[in-house]
Amino acid sequence: MGLIVQKYGGTSVGDIDRIRNVARRVARTYDAGDKVVVVLSAMSGTTDRLIAMAEEACERPDKREMDVLLATGEQTTVALLAMILKCMGYQATSLLGFQAEVVTDCSCGAARILNIGASRIRRLLDDGQIVIVAGFQGSDAEGNITTLGRGGSDTSAVAIAAALKADTCEIYTDVDGVYTTDPNICKKARKLSRVSYDEMLEMASLGAKVLQIRSVEFAKKYNVPVHVRSSFKDEEGTMVMQEDADMERLVVSGVTCNKNEARITLKGVPDRPGIAFRILNPIAEAGILVDMIIQNTRSGNITDFTFTVPKTDIRDALEISKKVAEEIGAEEVMADPNIAKVSVIGVGMKNHSGVASKMFAAMCEENINMIMISTSEIRISCIIEEKYTELAVRALHTTFGLDRPEEKLS
Amino acid sequence: MGLIVQKYGGTSVGDIDRIRNVARRVARTYDAGDKVVVVLSAMSGTTDRLIAMAEEACERPDKREMDVLLATGEQTTVALLAMILKCMGYQATSLLGFQAEVVTDCSCGAARILNIGASRIRRLLDDGQIVIVAGFQGSDAEGNITTLGRGGSDTSAVAIAAALKADTCEIYTDVDGVYTTDPNICKKARKLSRVSYDEMLEMASLGAKVLQIRSVEFAKKYNVPVHVRSSFKDEEGTMVMQEDADMERLVVSGVTCNKNEARITLKGVPDRPGIAFRILNPIAEAGILVDMIIQNTRSGNITDFTFTVPKTDIRDALEISKKVAEEIGAEEVMADPNIAKVSVIGVGMKNHSGVASKMFAAMCEENINMIMISTSEIRISCIIEEKYTELAVRALHTTFGLDRPEEKLS
């Protein structure tokens, strides 16, 4: 007999029929002899509807009150699932964030979980009950309601699984697992049966929208095995877990792409110490996240300085850069929003050399120019022209042997 | 500087514009130098929508989970009002039932308030804040969310006013006060400037839908002056308060009517001790509330036994009565749903004789037959044929001098 935490996302609880479907799945797990804690999101669309309501009410809704408002979304789904399970003859109890003792800091709208008491969850489980916890929400030390930010229910689920030392945390979503790349871009994309926490972190931050990054960090920290799977199918999905020897056989596990960045270049910058700080500090102070940075020496004491920022911040970043350029005597500032970042990810890279040159060769063969390159221990990313994104993803997917095996295609 | 509790009902917070209107009214009170606690209902229609949702989910929704679901209604309005007030530059904080320490018993769906801690409300008020409390909800000793039943926000408001020893509890609603009778029935109905708790209790239980009965009981018990008024107008409404000498000048303060009862008669019942118990006990055991009871001796040992029950229970009551009639050897059972109860109410009756005979004379003059009569210290009610309801109300309104003064009509 195990203890399983199951998290169902917004589309899985999108209407009453779908909540009934969730109830049947939960009941099946319970009937199989496992203890079950269920963590729910709000019905899909609810959070957006509530935000629109708040924005109709006032221009800049107060964050504390926004959290009070948003928390109603999960409150609705946990009550509905609990009543359906009870009508099916199961003992079930819903718990809101504060009732499940999900203690967070006070940063409303993006609160971080500090601790999960879980004493009431444990008592209810010991009592043979199915426990249904509202995801995405908690309360701070003063008892104010807080929310964890977009996708926070994943983090709730993993944190509760960690607190209860659950055997698995199952994340039910509308995709059936983690793929080698986006199946919409590359038809040969293949579901991974296992992926390591670190790979998942790189994939999540690079654009695979399966799991919230923070939930993966949590899972890694507390070593919670996370099973990503579809609530509409019965097949196994992808296990996100500690890396093992077996995983390393695959040099690259996935190819990701991301069109959310834009590039800014300051041309003709005097090449002297401290110049990177002069340029990037005002950007950071404006709360803009810089991703990649490159500095090319051109000739003599002159250099070109390039960095990428989120596309949504391009206007602000450009304005700041122009001001700095004038101060430091740079020649010109250019902005380019038509770029994409393509990455290959794999824990196997740690023990294999030549991944980068193989990647560069594949890009060269397709005549794709790499504008910027950055690497980590388990990732190589490059910035290319946006129009080549899909071509690059497919080429890399084939190059690193990720295409779906022939026999599965027939 | 006073402390005022203001409660706004569902129609007063029916949409964002109306909540803005509430915000302006609250701000005006605050600007005048008073401390303000606001208690809100859910937007009109929300509670019905949530109940419909629960009934779509399962046939008999669990009561505990229903309360979790329903509590989202008030949570939404308090968050919206708080964010609007903050955007207007006021310091405001919303509190849910449990945050305001509204402690209730565990009877979900119809919980009774046991205690209101209110320490956090006091702290926020001392801090100069406007405090906005979700009405209708509380939590039990275990921290489960409970709701107080239909109209429970009135009770929340009065109970909070009692706990804080507020100067007044203002109940904002879609009518502008308590009237001598229903203005839809009698155009000459007149707004009362004051009415006693006892009169209000009689009026509420007899069909005037202005205030929830329990809130008036609470107000009476803790001597909280309640000001019933419209959220769409500026005029004063009606003060519900302890009776004073002045009130007694008016013998009758109001005329009410109620078409929600039906009559059951057992004819030819053997007239012996214990027969009333034999008839009414099974009715009570079925959870049916009996209102009026009459037993007429006909001749010898035979009597007719008549009582009224809510119209919605007439089928069950009739079935039970037929069974009892057979057991005790009664001749016949008859049910009549086409009746109405008309009442005159006034604390002045205590010191004035002749009210009953004046009432009966008025009914006689209109050729209205009184089927049953019952009285209390401050009320005389009679059951008449339903079709005469409006005629009876208007006749009594005139008879007891309640018609609007001529000069106000022009």
Encode pLDDT of A291-316 as tens digits: 998 887 777 788 889 999 999 999 99
Handedness of CA B52, B54, B56, B62 (dihedral sign): negative
| Residue A45, Ramachandran bin (φ over 0: left; ψ between -120 and 50: alpha; else beta) | left
State how far the Cα of A326 lies from the Cα of A332, in Å rounded to an integer.
9
> For residue A80, what are the contacts with CB-CB under 8 A and spacing of at least 6?
A13, A16, A19, B53, B54, B57, B65, B69
Query: Chain B contacts of A58, Cβ < 8 Å?
Result: 83-84, 86-87
**How many A/B residue pairs have CB atoms within 8 Å?**
113
Are the beta carbons of B290 and B307 closer than 8 angstroms? Answer: yes
Contact A61 B99 (CB under 8 A): no
Has A388 been labeled as part of a binding site? no
State how far the Cα of B242 lies from the Cα of B221, in Å rounded to an integer.
10
Give the annotated binding-site residues of B: 7-10, 47, 74, 173-174, 179, 209-210
The mean pLDDT of B156-163, rounded to a whole number, is 96
Are the beta carbons of B148 and B218 closer than 8 angstroms? Answer: no
The pLDDT, as a whole number, for residue A206 is: 67
The mean pLDDT of A55-83, rounded to a whole number, is 96
Are the beta carbons of A46 and A14 closer than 8 angstroms? Answer: no
Radius of gyration, alpha carbons of chain B: 24
CA-based nearest residue to B65, from A129, A95, A107, A184? A95
Are the beta carbons of B314 and B335 closer than 8 angstroms? Answer: yes
Has A174 been labeled as part of a binding site? yes
Q: How large a percentage of chain B has pLDDT more than 90?
A: 74
Has A8 been labeled as part of a binding site? yes
CA-to-CA separations, B74 to B13, B35, B47, B194, in angstroms, rounded: 10, 22, 9, 30
CA-based nearest residue to A133, from A156, A162, A165, A109? A156
DSSP letter assigned to residue B109: T
The pLDDT, as a whole number, for residue A294 is: 85
The pLDDT, as a whole number, for residue B208 is: 64
Are the beta carbons of A62 and B86 closer than 8 angstroms? Answer: yes
DSSP B35-68: EEEEEE-PPTTHHHHHHHHHHHH-SS--HHHHHH
Contact B83 A94 (CB under 8 A): no
- Note if the pTM is more than 0.80: yes
Residue in the structure block whose two tokens are 């046939």: B59
For strands B194-196 and B238-241, give the pairing.
parallel
The pLDDT, as a whole number, for residue A208 is: 64
Q: Phi, psi (5° rounding) for residue B93?
A: -140, 130
Q: Which parts of A105-245 are beta strand (E)?
A: 113-116, 130-134, 137-139, 145-147, 168-173, 194-196, 226-230, 238-241
Question: For residue A111, is pLDDT > 50?
Answer: yes
Question: For residue A207, is pLDDT > 80?
Answer: no
Q: How large a percentage of chain A has pLDDT more than 70?
A: 97
Residue of B nearest to A53 (CA): B16
Amino acid at B358: K
Extract the tokens encoding A370. Answer: 């790499």
Domains in chain A (CATH in brackets) are 3-174 (3.40.1160.10), 245-410 (3.30.2130.10)
Question: For residue B410, is pLDDT > 60?
Answer: no
The mean pLDDT of A23-50, rounded to a whole number, is 96
Amino acid at A105: D
Contact A87 B61 (CB under 8 A): yes
For strands B145-147 and B194-196, give the pairing.
unpaired
Q: Is A370 helix (H, G, I), strand (E, B) or coil?
A: coil
State how far the Cα of B37 lies from the Cα of B30, in Å rounded to an integer.
10
Handedness of CA A369, A372, A377, A379 (dihedral sign): negative
* Most confident of the ranges A213-222, B94-103, B363-372: B94-103
The residue of B18, B83, B91, B102 whose CB has the most chain A CBs within 10 angstroms, and thus the best one to mutate to test that interface, is B83
CA-based nearest residue to B91, from B99, B103, B83? B83
Q: What is the mean pLDDT of chain A?
A: 91
Residue of B nearest to A63 (CA): B83
Question: For residue A368, is pLDDT > 90?
Answer: yes
Extract the tokens encoding B218. Answer: 């609470």
Instruction: Give residue B207's pLDDT band: very low, low, confident or very high (50, 70, 90).
Output: low
The mean pLDDT of A339-359, rounded to a whole number, is 89
The Cβ of residue A169 has, within 10 Å, a number of other Cβ atoms equal to 29
Extract the tokens encoding A89. Answer: 């003859």
Structure confidence by residue, pLDDT tens digits, A136-192: 999 999 999 999 987 799 999 999 999 999 999 999 988 889 999 988 899 999 999
Instruction: List, edge to edge, every strand of the sheet that includes B379-385.
Output: B254-258, B339-345, B379-385, B372-376
Contact A87 B58 (CB under 8 A): yes
Give the annotated binding-site residues of B for ATP: 7-10, 173-174, 179, 209-210
The mean pLDDT of B48-73, rounded to a whole number, is 95
Q: Phi, psi (5° rounding) for residue B20?
A: -60, -40
Q: Which parts of A82-158 are beta strand (E)?
A: 92-95, 102-104, 113-116, 130-134, 137-139, 145-147
- Closest Cα in chain A, distance from residue B324 (Å): 35
DSSP letter assigned to residue A11: G
Angle at A78 between CA A73 and CA A79, to 5 degrees: 100
Question: For residue B407, is pLDDT > 50?
Answer: no
Query: Chain B contacts of A54, Cβ < 8 Å?
Result: 79-80, 83
Instruction: Give residue A410's pLDDT band: very low, low, confident or very high (50, 70, 90).
Output: very low
Question: For residue A406, is pLDDT > 60?
Answer: no
Nearest to A80 among B69, B80, B93 (CB): B69
What helix, strand, coil percent values describe chain A, rounded to 5?
40, 25, 35
| Helix spans in B108-212 (H) | 119-126, 152-164, 197-206
Extract the tokens encoding A381. Answer: 């990313």
Query: In terms of residues, how long is chain A?
Result: 410
Amino acid at B348: G
Radius of gyration, alpha carbons of chain A: 24
Q: Is A215 helix (H, G, I), strand (E, B) or coil?
A: helix
Structure confidence by residue, pLDDT tens digits, B342-399: 999 998 888 777 898 899 999 999 999 999 998 888 999 999 999 999 999 999 999 9
Query: Chain B contacts of A144, Cβ < 8 Å?
Result: 99
Amino acid at A65: E
Are the beta carbons of B206 and B345 closer than 8 angstroms? Answer: yes
The kind and range of the H/E element at B281 are helix B275-285
Q: Which parts of A212-287 are beta strand (E)?
A: 226-230, 238-241, 254-258, 261-270
State how far the Cα of B236 lies from the Cα of B263, in Å rounded to an integer.
40
The pLDDT, as a whole number, for residue B320 is: 95
Are the beta carbons of A363 and A392 closer than 8 angstroms? Answer: yes
Instruction: Give residue A115's pLDDT band: very low, low, confident or very high (50, 70, 90).
Output: very high
Tell me which residues of chain A have a C-beta less than 8 Å from any C-beta of chain B.
16, 19-20, 50, 53-54, 56-62, 64-66, 68-69, 71-72, 75-76, 78-80, 82-84, 86-87, 93-94, 96, 98-99, 143-145
Instruction: Give residue A354's pLDDT band: very low, low, confident or very high (50, 70, 90).
Output: confident
Question: For residue A407, is pLDDT > 60?
Answer: no
Structure confidence by residue, pLDDT tens digits, A146-160: 999 877 999 999 999
The Cβ of residue B151 has, within 10 Å, a number of other Cβ atoms equal to 20
Tell me which residues of chain B have a C-beta less than 8 Å from any C-beta of chain A.
16, 19-20, 50, 53-54, 56-62, 64-66, 68-69, 71-72, 75-76, 78-80, 82-84, 86-87, 93-94, 96, 98-99, 143-145
Extract the tokens encoding A77. Answer: 């789904």
Least reliable range by pLDDT among A11-20, B35-44, B208-217: B208-217
Give the annotated binding-site residues of B for substrate: 47, 74
CA-based nearest residue to A3, from A30, A42, A40? A30
State how far the Cα of A11 lies from the Cα of A20, in Å rounded to an integer.
13
Nearest to B99 among A60, A99, A143 (CB): A143
Contact B68 A82 (CB under 8 A): yes
Are the beta carbons of B308 and B291 closer than 8 angstroms? Answer: yes
Structure confidence by residue, pLDDT tens digits, B256-276: 999 999 999 999 998 888 888
State how far the Cα of A321 lies from the Cα of A333, in Å rounded to an integer.
7
Contact A61 B72 (CB under 8 A): no
Are the beta carbons of A218 and A163 closer than 8 angstroms? Answer: no
Amino acid at A107: S
Instruction: Give residue A283's pLDDT band: very low, low, confident or very high (50, 70, 90).
Output: very high
Q: Is the ipTM above a cut-off of 0.85? A: no
Instruction: Give residue B159's pLDDT band: very low, low, confident or very high (50, 70, 90).
Output: very high
CA-to-CA separations, B191 to A98, A355, B194, B216, in angstroms, rounded: 46, 86, 9, 18
Instruction: Give the rounded distance of the alpha carbon of B179 from its chain centre.
Output: 14
Would you give the end-to-end CA distance of chain B in angstroms? 39
Q: Phi, psi (5° rounding) for residue A374?
A: -140, 155
